[in-house]
Structure 1
Amino acid sequence: MHDDFDRCYRAVQSKDARFDGWFVTAVLTTGIYCRPSCPVRPPLAQNLRFYPTAAAAQKAGFRACKRCRPDASPGSPEWNVRGDVVARAMRLIADGAVDRCGVTGLAAQLGYTTRQLERLLQAEVGANPLALARAQRTQTARVLIETTDLPFSDVAFAAGFSSIRQFNDTVRSVCALTPTALRRRARARSRDEAVGPDALSLRLPVRAPFAYEGVFGHLAAGAVPGVEEVRDGAYRRTLRLPSGSGVVALTPHPDHVRCRLVVDDFRDLAAAIARCRRLLDLDADPAAIIDALGTDPHLGPLVAKAPGQRIPRTVDEQELAVRVVLGQQVSIKAARTHAGRLAETHGTPFTDTGGGLTRVFPSVDQLAGLDPTTLAMPATRRRTLSTLIAAMADGDVDLSAGADWNRARTRLAALPGVGPWTTELIAMRGLGDPDAFPVTDLGVRIAAEAVGLPAAADTLLTRSARWRPWRAYVTQHLWTALDHAVNEWPPRTNRQEK
């Protein structure tokens, strides 16, 4: 979008927050870059340049605006809509892949050479992987500086900087303030944000409208005992992270989500934040979805009733795949029971000082030695689960943030017992494909019939062609038509689960 000067300039003139994250605005006369929605009066058109990412603007020598803080804006929805290599790379970089395995490791994971990947990213987003990772490290450092009392040496290490000097120089260059001045300004704005050295409290920005009842209700209805819970108006769950474990509490608001994080290792902070955003689908573009689906005569009333639906996703794609197989042809309550037993037997014990969480959901490696005869389910489903676990452990099925969606679908469909419902649900909630469509889902078919759409799977699939590429959001809107616990937030207690 940044190449369309007139469209970008109109967005800046209208201060349209819907475009935050799509591009940044750089001002030649001040050397500052801003969000499109920055409240400062826009300068003359000839003094503006538009860049696709904050990293590209920083590489060109611009620093972040102190007022609108463009480095804290929501991520571009483009990277979640697309399945090409650039989008896959951006998702992996957001998950911390460069800091964990370097640019060479990132390129290898995508199946490209380092030079090929750098050329592709430079051409499309205006920055190479190192510059993109540097921008992310700066954002992580800023969050820690402003919302914790951690010593700056710990902040630098947690954000991924190799030295204190590099940390200080980068923060000064990007933010035009020293770390000390940033912390002082943050304390002056709000003294209730700092929560101590062992916890982090921050706002996850979201594009409005935000119909959070659907995504939070779905997560609450399927919460695995010991791994997830609802407490004090927040959805809480344990996290398995690259360098340790953690726990997050997420509380929804109309324009943001309050996130309280505790992690074993602060190096995992960027990955934890990225996974929480992914879990709640916070980088979706509700305006585009509403425009595409709101005019449909059958879906229009559902969209108007609760615009801004998000897909209930996951913090761990492999965990989600296991849970989908456990939920084949059973109720939500039964699926929770199966998953809870699996977590209790094979998961990592966890001590939760702020609630009742007791386990981190087991990794594929922990499940590799699973005896399927111990599972109280049909033999065919036990075989499907064992085959899936083995395929993910061997790398035959890749469901990571950088996975190729089409290849993942093909590999999943080749496994015994994995049919269209399982494949599409994993594609929708695990991979984040916005066009995934579990057309055989019973709830989808019941809701479709209730709003006047065909209930037969083949006919509904044909009808769905006009909704592409947003069929995953059609699924979510159809689910909202049901009288079901997945649509309730906060959840009703002692309700019979369906």
Structure 2
Amino acid sequence: MHTDTDRCVRAVRSKDARFDGWFFTAVLTTRIYCRPSCPVVPPKPENMTFLPSAAACQQAGFRACKRCRPDTSPGSPEWNHRADLVARAMRLIGDGVVDREGVPGLAGRLGYSTRQVERQLLAELGAGPLALARAQRAQTARILVETTGLPMADIAFAAGFSSVRTFNDTVREVFALSPSELRTRAPRTGSAAPGAITLRLPFRAPLTPDNLFGHLAATAVPGVEEWRDGAYRRTLRLPYGHGIVTLTPAPDHIGCRLVLTDQRDLTVAISRCRRMLDLDADPVAVDEQLRADPLLAPLVDKAPGRRVPRTVDEAEFAVRAVLGQQVSTAAARTHAARLVTAHGEPVDDPEGGLTHLFPTPAALAALDPETLALPRSRRTTLTTLVRELADGTLNLGPESDWDEARHRLMELPGFGPWTVEVIAMRALGDPDAFLPTDLGMRRAAQELGLPHTPAALTARAASWRPWRAYAVQYLWATDDHPINFLPA
């Protein structure tokens, strides 16, 4: 979008927050870059240039605006609905792969040479993987500086910097303030538990939280997830340790409180929570497409901005999808809770009732199938799945190719179209995943006057592409199932 100058100028002049994260406005006279909705008086068009990423702005010598804080914009929705090399690379960078494994590790996961990955990122985003990771480290450092009392040296290494000097230089260059000045300017908040980090997760409006948090709460696995005091809480397995997150819906943001055993996991934890809540989606584009169908339009108008509830752990969700085959929500939770108690890692949660991390595929691959209270065919399905996840034969991570993953899943015993597509929708994050055989979908379609046989419904849904996963949410929301309501 940044190449359409006229459209960008109109967005800046109208201070349109819908375009935050789509592009950044770099002001040639002040050498400052802003988000489109920056509250200051817009500069003259001839003094503006538009860049596709904060990293590109920083690489070109612009610093972040102190008023609109463009580094806190929602992420580009492009990386949610695309499955090409650049989108997969951006998802991996958001998951901290460059900081942990370097550019060769990033390229290796994608199956391309480092030169090809760098060339494509530079062509589309105006910055290579190192610059993109550096911009992400700067944002992580700012969060830690402003929300914790950690010493600056600890923050430097927790944010991924190789030295305190590099940390200081980067913060000054990006924000035109020293780390100490950032901390002094930050608003004082109430006392927090030791090690807790509190921040706000932005999103593009509108957002209807009912089905999003309702789904997570209604399907919560005891010990791993819970709904407590108006917030969804869960344990997180992270690269350097583990954590507990508390997510609270608010009208203009999602409150996020993280307690981590290792602060280096902050960036990854935020990225995974944003992905689980689908916060980088573009609801205006989605709803506009679905509203074009006259039978869907009333559902969209009633509660615009529905999101697709996703996951923080793709392998975990695949296991839970198998446990949920042909049983009730309550039965699926019971099966999952048994696995957690027997094979999950214990954690401490002084503030709630969380007790375990969900077991890894490696831990589940070692279990005795005879201990599973499941039909024999489903035992085979589950043990085959966890074995392939554990040995890397099946990859459902952010770098995965959606079509290839679907193909691999369909080859497993006991996997049909419903299971494959629900994993594609909630674990892989494919916004076009579709469940025409789902009973709730077919019932809702029939009540609305839509075709309700799988073939006919699939044909009608062609006009909803590439947002069919969102159409599923609107159709499911016509039911009075607990997944569609915020818990009391």
| TM-score, normalisation: structure 2 | 0.99
Residue 229 of structure 2 corresponds to residue 252 of structure 1: no
- Partner Cα distance (2:193, 2:118) in 1: 39
SS at match of 1:135: helix
SS at match of 1:435: coil
SS at match of 2:210: helix
- Partner Cα distance (1:128, 1:442) in 2: 46
Select which of 261, 270, 277 maps to 2:267.
270
Structure 2 match to 1:375: 372
Structure 2 match to 1:494: none
Structure 2 match to 1:161: 161
Could you give the per-residue CA deviations for residues 455-475 of structure 1, whole angstroms, max 9, x where no partner exists? 111111111111000000000
State whether residues 216 and 489 of structure 1, in contact with CA within 8 Å, keep that contact through their aligned partners in structure 2: yes
Structure 2 match to 1:479: 476
SS at match of 2:237: strand
SS at match of 1:202: strand
- Partner Cα distance (1:44, 1:299) in 2: 42
Residue 42 of structure 2 corresponds to residue 42 of structure 1: yes
Structure 1 match to 2:285: 288
Structure 1 match to 2:238: 241
1:33-112 to 2 correspondences below 5 Å: 33-112=33-112
Which residue identity is paired with 1:27? V
Structure 2 match to 1:222: 219
Residue 182 of structure 2 corresponds to residue 192 of structure 1: no
- Partner Cα distance (1:377, 1:462) in 2: 36
- Partner Cα distance (1:26, 1:266) in 2: 32
Offset at residue 195 of structure 1 (A): 2.7
- Partner Cα distance (1:300, 1:470) in 2: 14
Residue 430 of structure 2 corresponds to residue 433 of structure 1: yes
Structure 2 match to 1:364: 361
1:445-484 to 2 correspondences below 5 Å: 445-484=442-481
Structure 2 match to 1:333: 330
Residue 10 of structure 2 corresponds to residue 10 of structure 1: yes
Identity of matched residues, %:
66
Could you give the per-residue CA deviations for residues 159-209 of structure 1, whole angstroms, max 9, x where no partner exists? 0000000000000000000011111111xxx32166354100000001110
Offset at residue 295 of structure 1 (A): 2.4
Aligned residues: 488
Which residue identity is paired with 1:184? T
- Partner Cα distance (1:30, 1:352) in 2: 48
Which residue identity is paired with 1:452? G
SS at match of 1:236: strand
State whether residues 205 and 305 of structure 2, in contact with CA within 8 Å, keep that contact through their aligned partners in structure 1: yes
- Partner Cα distance (1:72, 1:328) in 2: 39
Which residue identity is paired with 1:275? R
- Partner Cα distance (1:124, 1:216) in 2: 34
Which residue identity is paired with 1:168? N
Could you give the per-residue CA deviations for residues 364-405 of structure 1, whole angstroms, max 9, x where no partner exists? 111110212111111111101111111111222111011111
SS at match of 2:234: strand
Offset at residue 224 of structure 1 (A): 0.2
Compared with structure 1, are the counterparts of its residues 479 and 103 closer, same or farther at alpha carbon in structure 2 (3 Å cutoff)?
same
Could you give the per-residue CA deviations for residues 96-122 of structure 1, whole angstroms, max 9, x where no partner exists? 000111100000000001111000100
Structure 2 match to 1:344: 341
SS at match of 2:168: helix
- Partner Cα distance (2:444, 2:215) in 1: 16
Residue 131 of structure 2 corresponds to residue 131 of structure 1: yes
- Partner Cα distance (2:190, 2:134) in 1: 25
- Partner Cα distance (2:34, 2:362) in 1: 44
- Partner Cα distance (2:115, 2:427) in 1: 30
State whether residues 399 and 408 of structure 1, in contact with CA within 8 Å, keep that contact through their aligned partners in structure 2: yes
Structure 2 match to 1:398: 395
Moved beyond 6 Å, runs of 4+:
none
- Partner Cα distance (1:442, 1:136) in 2: 42
State whether residues 435 and 472 of structure 1, in contact with CA within 8 Å, keep that contact through their aligned partners in structure 2: yes
Structure 1 match to 2:182: 182
- Partner Cα distance (1:488, 1:113) in 2: 47
- Partner Cα distance (1:222, 1:148) in 2: 33
- Partner Cα distance (1:368, 1:388) in 2: 9
Give RMSD over aligned pairs: 0.9
Offset at residue 490 of structure 1 (A): 2.2
Could you give the per-residue CA deviations for residues 437-468 of structure 1, whole angstroms, max 9, x where no partner exists? 01111111111111111111111111111100
Could you give the per-residue CA deviations for residues 116-158 of structure 1, whole angstroms, max 9, x where no partner exists? 1000100011100000000000000001111111111111111
Structure 2 match to 1:413: 410
Residue 29 of structure 2 corresponds to residue 29 of structure 1: yes
- Partner Cα distance (2:487, 2:6) in 1: 44
State whether residues 362 and 387 of structure 2, in contact with CA within 8 Å, keep that contact through their aligned partners in structure 1: no
Could you give the per-residue CA deviations for residues 220-261 of structure 1, whole angstroms, max 9, x where no partner exists? 000001100011111000000001111000000121100000
SS at match of 2:243: strand
SS at match of 1:412: helix
Select which of 393, 399, 422 maps to 2:419.
422
Which residue identity is paired with 1:481? T
Q: Which of 291-300 and 84-93 deviates more?
A: 291-300
Select which of 299, 305, 312 maps to 2:296.
299
SS at match of 1:33: strand
Which residue identity is paired with 1:412? L
Which residue identity is paired with 2:61? G
